[in-house]
C-alpha cells in the first residue's frame, strides 16, 4: 500500500525527511493515484453490475475492432479548417458560394446520435474514429460535433465535461471545421441567459475548438439571435451560420403564415445581421423536394450568402430534398454515416455521395471511404441499443404532428414511462392539437419542449383538446406552457393565440426576463478558461453539474472504460481489462453478487488483478 511504501522507504525509516520527500518520489504518488483510480473504477463497475437497466443483454462487442486499417502516423491532409484559417470567415463563405462541388457536413458526432440514441454516445467512441474521418474524408465542410443536447447530456448522464469532449475532438480533427449548434440566447440550455453568458460561451467555445456556429432561435426572432451572432462575429475567426427554422409547407396554398415570403423576410434580417452562411433548418423533415427547390432558388437569387440545408429523414426519402436543393444551387447539406442515418436522423452520407458521384455537383468525397467508416458506426449503434427509441421505420404522420426528429425519439421513450407505449398515436395527435392551441409555432428546442409538455399532459389526463383550449382554467396547465404564454421565449411569429393566452395568464403575475449575474459570476466568466468553463457549466446546468462532480468524485474519470463495460459492468467468466493510465492496466473480474441486506446493500465480490476485492453497492432497483 501507499502507507507501507512510505514506511519502507529508507529515508523515511532513518528520519531523513524533508518537505520534498514526496516530490522526489513521484512514483509513490502515482502509485497511490492509480490505486485510488482503480478503486473508483471498480466501484463504478460493481455499481453498474447491480444497477444496470433491466434487459440489457451483455455483449462483448468492441467497435474499435471495426476501425479501418489505416496508418495514423501520417498527418491528416489540409482541409476546410486550413481554408478557413487562410481566407477568414467572409472569404471562406464566398469561396463556399463559388464552388461547384456540393459541400457536406457530417452530423454523426452530434445530431445523428441525439436523434437516434438520446445523445448518449460517449466522447471515447467519438474520439476513436475522429482521426480516421480526418484522413479518409478530409473534403468535409465540417463535422457537427457539439452543442444541442450534447452539453447537457454529458454532464447529466455521462459523467463527462463537455469542454473536454470539444478539446479532444479538436485535437483528433485538426483539418476539418468543427461545427456546433447554438440555441441563440439559450446557448445550449432551455431558457434565455444574459448576454455576458452568451459572450463568454461563444468566446470559450471558439477558443476550445468550434469553427462554425450554427445559430437559431426557436421562434425565428432574429433580435433574439443577435447577441450570439455578434459574439461569433467578434471572434474574428469563426463562422456565423444563421438558421431559419422551417415549418409547415410553403407550397400549400392554404398556408398563410409560413409562406415563401415569410422565409424571405426572415432571411433578409439574417443577412443584415452579418451572418456568413444562411442555413435552412428543417428539424422535423417537413421540407419537401419542390419546396426546397423553390426556397433555395429564391434565397440564392436574392442574397449572396451560401445556403446550407439541414433536414431529418423522419418521413423517409429526404435524400430527394437534398438533391432538389442541390439542383437549385444549395451550397452545402448535412448527412450522417449510414448506420447512424435515416428516420429521425439525417439522410445517409453514402447515398448522397453516390447520388452525386460523376455529376457536376460531385462532393469530391470518396464513396469507398464513407463506406469503410460504416462498420465502426454500426457496432457503436449496437452497443448503445438500450437508448434506441424503437422507431423502426419512417412515418408520414410527421407531416401532421411536425415533431422534430430529436424529440420524436425522446417522446417515444417518455410514452413508455407514462404507460402509453402502445398508444403513441394519441401523443402524436395531442402534439398536433397542442401545436394549434399554442399558435402554430416553429417547433425546435425549447419551443418543442413546451408543445411536448402540453401533449404529454393532455394525453396523460385524456383531455379533450377543444375543452382544454376553451377552459384552461379547469386544468392544471403545465408551467412551461404558462411561461411560454407569458413570453418567456419571446413573441410568436403568428401572434398570440387568443383568447387562450389571456385565459391562461388570468390572475397570474409572471416575471419574464433573465436573471442578472452576480459580481462573482461575472468575474469568473472573465477569468481564465478553466474558471470560465466551470462557471458556464454551473450557470447553464447547475444540477447536472453537481451530478457530474459527484460522479467524478466517486468514480473518477470514467472515460477509460470501454462503453460495453461502462454500460453493463462486469460479467462472470470474463476478465475485463481497463487501461487507467498509459501502460497501467487493471484486470477486473466478477466472482459473485450477494443478496441484498435489510438496508438494500449487496456485496459484489470482484477480483482486481487476481486479488479478491469485495465492493459494497446499494441496490437501487
Whichever of 114 and 177 has its CB closer to ligand 3PY, that residue is 114
Q: Least distance (Å) from ligand 3PY to the CB of residue 336?
A: 13
Q: Least distance (Å) from Zn ion to the CB of residue 143?
A: 15
Name which of 516, 521, 557 is nearest 536 in CA terms.
521
Decide which of ligand 3PY, Zn ion, none touches 148; Cβ closer than 5 to 8 Å per partner kind.
ligand 3PY
Count of other CB atoms within 10 angstroms of residue 414: 16
What are the two backbone dihedrals, phi and then psi, of residue 178, each rounded to the nearest 5 degrees?
-95, 135
Query: CA-to-CA distance for 174 and 122, rounded, in angstroms?
Result: 20
Whichever of 240 and 615 has its CB closer to ligand 3PY, that residue is 240
**Which SS3 state, helix, strand or coil, does residue 589 take?**
strand
Whichever of 21 and 399 has its CB closer to ligand 3PY, that residue is 399
What are the two backbone dihedrals, phi and then psi, of residue 425, each rounded to the nearest 5 degrees?
-60, -30
Whichever of 363 and 447 has its CB closer to ligand 3PY, that residue is 447
Decide which of ligand 3PY, Zn ion, none touches 407; Cβ closer than 5 to 8 Å per partner kind.
none
Q: Between the CA of residue 390 and those of 386, 409, 413, 448, 595, what are the distances in Å?
A: 10, 8, 8, 20, 34
Whichever of 181 and 279 has its CB closer to ligand 3PY, that residue is 181
Whichever of 79 and 347 has its CB closer to Zn ion, that residue is 347
Compose the 315-354 pattern: x for residues touching ligand 3PY by CB under 6 A, - for all others. ----------------------------------------
Spell 478-507 as b/e; 16+ CB within 10 A means b.
bebbbbbbbebbbebbeeebeebbebbbee
Q: Least distance (Å) from ligand 3PY to the CB of residue 405?
A: 7
Q: Please return the burial class of 321, using the count of CB atoms within 10 Å of its CB with bins 0-12, 13-18 and 19+.
A: buried
Q: Least distance (Å) from Zn ion to the CB of residue 111?
A: 4
Q: Select the residue whose beta carbon is closest to Zn ion and give its number.
A: 111
Count of other CB atoms within 10 angstroms of residue 88: 14
Looking at residues 89 to 118 of the shown chain, list those that interact with ligand 3PY (rule: CB under 6 A): 111, 114
Q: Select the residue whose beta carbon is closest to ligand 3PY and give its number.
A: 148
Half-sphere exposure of 318 (CA within 13 A, CB side): 33
How many residues bind ligand 3PY, per CB under 6 A? 11
Compose the 26-45 pattern: x for residues touching ligand 3PY by CB under 6 A, - for all others. --------------------
What are 80's strand-pairing partners?
none
Decide which of Zn ion, ligand 3PY, none touches 593; Cβ closer than 5 to 8 Å per partner kind.
none
Query: CA-to-CA distance for 63 and 389, rounded, in angstroms?
Result: 21
Residues that bind Zn ion (CB under 5 A): 111, 283
Q: Least distance (Å) from ligand 3PY to the CB of residue 300?
A: 23
Using CB under 6 A as the binding rule, whether residue 444 contacts ligand 3PY is answered as: yes
Whichever of 209 and 442 has its CB closer to ligand 3PY, that residue is 442
Using CB under 6 A as the binding rule, whether residue 445 contacts ligand 3PY is answered as: yes
Query: CA-to-CA distance for 563 and 573, rounded, in angstroms?
Result: 19
What are the two backbone dihedrals, phi and then psi, of residue 182, each rounded to the nearest 5 degrees?
-115, 125
Decide which of Zn ion, ligand 3PY, none touches 445; Cβ closer than 5 to 8 Å per partner kind.
ligand 3PY
Q: Is the dihedral of CA 537, 166, 168, 200 positive or negative?
A: negative
Using CB under 6 A as the binding rule, whether residue 283 contacts ligand 3PY is answered as: yes
Whichever of 111 and 293 has its CB closer to Zn ion, that residue is 111
Query: CA-to-CA distance for 361 and 199, rounded, in angstroms?
Result: 38
Instruction: List, in sequence order, the alpha helices (H) in 461-518.
Output: 465-470, 479-485, 500-505
Q: Least distance (Å) from ligand 3PY to the CB of residue 40?
A: 32
Whichever of 339 and 472 has its CB closer to Zn ion, that residue is 339
What are the two backbone dihedrals, phi and then psi, of residue 281, each rounded to the nearest 5 degrees?
-105, 100
Q: Least distance (Å) from ligand 3PY to the CB of residue 444?
A: 5
Looking at residues 148 to 187 of the shown chain, list those that interact with ligand 3PY (rule: CB under 6 A): 148-149, 181, 183
Whichever of 227 and 404 has its CB closer to ligand 3PY, that residue is 404
Q: Between the CA of residue 538 and those of 17, 220, 299, 616, what are the distances in Å?
A: 42, 28, 40, 31
Q: Which residues bind ligand 3PY (CB under 6 A)?
A: 111, 114, 148-149, 181, 183, 283, 404, 406, 444-445
Amino acid at each position: 500500500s501507499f502507507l507501507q511504501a512510505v514506511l519502507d522507504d529508507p529515508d523515511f525509516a532513518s528520519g531523513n525527511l524533508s518537505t520534498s520527500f514526496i516530490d522526489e518520489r513521484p512514483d509513490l504518488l502515482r502509485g497511490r493515484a492509480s490505486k485510488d483510480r482503480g478503486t473508483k473504477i471498480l466501484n463504478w463497475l460493481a455499481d453498474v453490475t447491480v444497477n444496470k437497466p433491466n434487459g440489457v443483454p451483455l455483449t462483448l462487442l468492441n467497435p474499435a475492432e471495426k476501425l479501418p486499417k489505416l496508418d495514423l502516423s501520417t498527418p491528416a491532409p489540409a482541409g476546410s479548417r486550413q481554408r478557413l484559417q487562410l481566407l477568414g470567415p467572409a472569404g471562406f463563405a464566398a469561396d463556399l458560394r463559388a464552388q461547384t462541388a456540393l459541400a457536406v457536413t457530417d452530423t454523426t458526432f452530434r445530431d445523428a446520435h441525439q436523434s437516434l440514441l438520446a445523445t448518449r454516445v460517449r466522447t471515447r467512441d467519438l474520439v476513436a474514429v475522429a482521426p480516421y474521418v480526418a484522413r479518409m474524408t478530409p473534403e468535409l465542410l465540417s463535422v457537427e460535433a457539439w452543442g444541442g443536447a450534447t452539453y447537457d447530456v454529458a454532464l447529466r448522464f455521462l459523467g463527462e465535461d463537455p469542454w473536454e469532449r470539444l478539446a479532444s475532438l479538436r485535437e483528433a480533427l485538426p483539418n476539418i471545421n468543427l461545427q456546433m449548434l447554438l440555441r441563440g440566447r439559450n446557448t445550449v440550455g432551455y431558457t434565455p441567459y444574459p448576454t455576458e453568458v452568451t459572450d463568454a460561451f461563444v468566446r470559450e467555445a471558439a477558443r476550445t475548438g468550434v469553427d462554425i456556429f450554427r445559430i437559431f432561435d426557436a421562434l425565428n426572432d432574429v433580435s433574439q439571435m443577435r447577441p450570439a451572432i455578434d459574439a461569433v462575429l467578434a471572434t474574428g475567426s469563426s463562422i456565423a451560420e444563421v438558421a431559419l427554422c422551417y415549418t409547415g409547407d410553403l407550397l400549400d396554398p392554404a398556408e398563410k403564415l409560413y409562406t415563401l415570403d415569410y422565409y424571405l423576410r426572415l432571411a433578409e434580417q439574417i443577412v443584415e445581421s452579418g451572418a456568413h452562411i444562411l442555413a435552412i433548418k428543417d428539424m422535423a423533415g417537413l421540407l419537401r423536394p419542390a419546396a426546397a427547390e423553390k426556397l433555395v432558388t429564391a434565397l440564392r437569387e436574392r442574397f449572396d450568402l451560401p445556403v446550407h440545408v439541414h433536414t431529418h429523414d423522419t418521413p423517409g426519402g429526404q435524400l430527394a430534398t437534398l438533391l432538389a436543393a442541390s439542383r437549385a444551387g444549395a451550397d452545402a447539406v448535412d448527412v450522417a454515416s449510414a448506420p447512424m442515418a435515416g428516420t429521425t436522423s439525417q439522410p445517409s452520407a453514402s447515398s448522397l455521395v453516390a447520388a452525386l458521384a460523376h455529376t457536376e455537383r460531385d462532393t469530391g468525397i470518396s464513396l469507398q471511404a464513407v463506406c469503410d467508416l460504416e462498420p465502426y458506426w454500426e457496432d457503436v449503434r449496437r452497443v448503445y441499443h438500450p437508448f434506441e427509441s424503437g422507431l423502426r421505420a419512417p412515418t408520414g404522420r410527421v407531416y401532421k404532428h411536425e415533431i422534430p426528429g430529436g424529440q420524436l425519439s425522446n417522446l417515444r421513450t417518455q410514452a413508455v414511462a407514462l404507460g402509453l407505449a402502445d398508444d403513441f398515436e394519441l401523443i402524436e395527435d395531442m402534439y398536433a392539437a397542442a401545436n394549434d392551441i399554442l399558435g402554430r409555432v416553429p417547433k425546435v428546442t425549447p419551443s418543442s419542449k413546451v408543445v411536448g409538455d402540453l401533449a404529454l399532459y393532455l394525453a396523460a389526463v385524456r383531455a379533450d383538446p377543444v375543452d382544454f383550449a376553451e377552459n384552461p382554467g379547469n386544468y392544471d396547465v403545465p408551467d412551461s406552457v404558462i411561461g411560454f404564454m407569458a413570453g418567456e421565449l419571446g413573441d410568436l411569429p403568428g401572434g398570440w393565440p387568443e383568447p387562450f393566452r389571456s385565459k391562461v395568464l388570468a390572475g397570474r403575475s409572471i416575471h419574464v426576463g433573465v436573471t442578472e449575474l452576480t459580481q462573482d459570476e461575472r468575474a469568473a466568466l472573465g477569468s481564465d478558461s478553466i474558471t470560465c468553463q466551470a462557471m458556464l457549466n454551473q450557470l447553464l446546468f447547475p444540477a447536472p453539474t453537481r451530478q457530474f462532480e459527484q460522479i467524478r468524485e466517486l468514480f473518477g474519470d470514467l472515460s477509460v472504460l470501454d462503453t460495453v463495460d461502462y454500460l453493463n459492468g462486469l460479467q462472470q467468466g470474463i476478465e475485463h481489462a481497463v487501461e487507467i493510465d498509459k501502460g497501467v492496466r487493471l484486470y477486473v473480474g466478477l466472482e459473485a453478487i450477494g443478496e441484498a441486506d435489510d438496508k438494500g446493500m449487496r456485496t459484489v465480490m470482484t477480483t482486481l488483478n487476481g486479488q479478491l476485492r469485495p465492493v459494497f453497492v446499494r441496490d437501487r432497483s
